[in-house]
Amino acid sequence: MAKSRTLYVCHECGAEFPQYFGRCSACHAWNSLEEQVEQPPPTSLQRFSWSNLSAEHPEGSPEVTKPGQPRSSFRLSQISDQSQSRMPSGYGELDRVLGGGIVPGSLVLIGGEPGIGKSTLLLQVANRLSHSSRVLYVSAEESGQQVKLRSQRLGVGVDEETDPSPEPENGNSQPSATTVDPFSEQLKGRRQKKSNSPENGQKNPPPKSESVTPQHHEDNLYLLPETDLEVILRELESLKPQLAVIDSIQTIYFASLTSAPGSVAQVRECTSALMQVAKRENITLLIVGHVTKDGGIAGPRVLEHLVDTVLYFEGDRFASHRLLRSMKNRFGATHEIGVFEMVAHGLKEVSNPSELFLGNRDEFAPGTSTVVALEGTRPIVVEIQALVSPASYGSARRATTGVDSSRLLQILAVLEKRVGIPLSKLDAYVASVGGLKVEEPAADLGIAIAIVASFRDRVVDPRTILIGEIGLGGQVRPVSQLELRLREAAKLGFKRAIIPRGQSPADLGLQILPVGKVIDAIIASIPAQPPTLNDEF
């Protein structure tokens, strides 16, 4: 009888080692190996071997050339052309990130920091979809009563036509005597329905003469507080919902494995089993994933390869807005973003995110500029703020918020070498309004102009948009999707646009100023004299 053996598996890349090492030799991650016990395969399992094929065609037998015939494969032309209908989630921002809606039978992985709003978003989506579809919410982290409290805060399952019962005027809210467990009531109703079935010898009650009220959408939203994978799979096969939410994959365990929930083997096996049921029953799965301290999704990298879409829910803990970013999407474009705002009753969509990341243009402040960042296919107008001050200590300090720090160092070096601005002994602070991460090179020109304006204490025209990538030689390089960026700027009331030379966009009502070098952009955007109160832009 084969014995079980102990392996050490890296939870970052999935590499296996026979003994423990402090550092994984495959991905070079420290303290990432976890002990796992590998069970021997059953002896009755028959594996495919080449000896079976060689037995059919022994050596020395005359070769008979036969044309190749497919056994299980088929041509692409044999697949019928069926339009893939997407299911709207009820939130336009989420549909935008997913590529136009939820694809039936797809697996969507949503990761984010604790408390960012992953469970809140999915509970609201489940509530919206329960109006027209059957939805199962699997809560592996919270009990049924905890989910009930959160749903009441979000207004999930509350009939808008019926007003809630008023509270007592004396303020002493006593618990009602008829308060019972909702799961016990649901089980009691199922038993009563079964006892009244025709199989038990009882006839169905005659229909009432009154008009039958339509079924409330709360009846299509089912809750399952469970962590056992086998129970969850049986419920999925029995209920057959159109959508299922798994919250979260790191807390579900498979009893046949000896490792703890959240380990590499548990996450891999649970995701694989859920994927097989989802593809077979055409169930859409929205899976919540935990993140590590580095910001990546906890568990093996194979988890992101198994699913169809990977979404990251991010945002500043001190700000109210949240960004839903697509990192992988088999049915749409990647790096799309959806903007939400956290309010008292949950998450609310932000239809025009440019107004959220655009500062007040009525107040003139030195060291500010405006750029158009492109997130996927969505242009967003963002205000860049810069502050340059003398260094208090020997070495100058550089700090960024929402801007890549290495990109800032490169722009500072270009301004000092090509333009002649002494920035090596000055502190430089650059931030984007709202904390939006602006990482694309098209924002280089706006960052450089904001730094120069802060150095010279000048005000950039608040109705001027700056678009361009800065090269190491001081030249302004072309950017992609220029017309889409300019159309967004014109919609928000901008009058001028400084763009790279060589690009000829369509006439959108903007004054176009093409520049070839950074010094030309500085002359065109920063006035020679500081503005006064009587000046008008």
Residue range 244-293, pLDDT digits in tens: 999 989 999 999 887 888 888 888 899 999 999 999 999 999 999 988 77
Contact 237, 277 (CB under 8 A): yes
Q: Is residue 339 predicted with pLDDT exceeding 80? A: yes
Percent share of the chain, pLDDT over 70: 79
Across the range 434-453, mean pLDDT stands at 92
For residue 248, say if its preceding peptide bond is cis, omega within 30 degrees of 0: yes
Residue 45 has what pLDDT? Answer: 46
pLDDT bucket at 351, cuts 50 / 70 / 90: confident
Across the range 345-363, mean pLDDT stands at 81
Distance CA 297, CA 291 (A): 4
pLDDT bucket at 334, cuts 50 / 70 / 90: confident
Residue 217 has what pLDDT? Answer: 52
Distance CA 268, CA 283 (A): 19
Q: Is residue 308 predicted with pLDDT exceeding 60? A: yes
Q: Is residue 411 predicted with pLDDT exceeding 70? A: yes
- 391 vs 414: which has the higher pLDDT: 414
| Strand extents, DSSP E, 333-466 | 337-343, 346-349, 368-375, 378-390, 398-401, 426-432, 464-466
Residue range 139-158, pLDDT digits in tens: 999 999 999 999 999 887 65
Residue 155 has what pLDDT? Answer: 84
Residue range 83-134, pLDDT digits in tens: 778 999 999 999 999 999 999 999 999 998 888 999 999 999 999 999 999 9
Residue 54 has what pLDDT? Answer: 54
Residue 169 has what pLDDT? Answer: 40
pLDDT bucket at 75, cuts 50 / 70 / 90: confident
Among 121-125, 217-221, 503-507, the minimum mean pLDDT is found in 217-221
Q: What is the DSSP-derived secondary structure letter of residue 61?
A: S
DSSP string, 238-301: HH--SEEEEE-GGG-B-TT--SPTTSHHHHHHHHHHHHHHHHHHT-EEEEEE-B-TTSSBSS-T
pLDDT bucket at 137, cuts 50 / 70 / 90: very high
Residue 309 token pair:
């879409």
Across the range 19-30, mean pLDDT stands at 87
Residue 51 has what pLDDT? Answer: 53
What H or E segment, with its residue span, contains residue 498?
strand 496-500
Distance CA 194, CA 108 (A): 36
Among 297-306, 316-325, 367-376, the minimum mean pLDDT is found in 297-306
Distance CA 142, CA 150 (A): 10
Q: Is residue 56 predicted with pLDDT exceeding 70? A: no
Residue 74 has what pLDDT? Answer: 85
* Contacts (Cβ under 8 Å, ≥6 apart) of 301: 12, 13, 14
Q: Is residue 176 predicted with pLDDT exceeding 70? A: no
pLDDT bucket at 173, cuts 50 / 70 / 90: very low
Instruction: Give the torsion sign (CA, 214, 216, 217, 220).
Output: negative
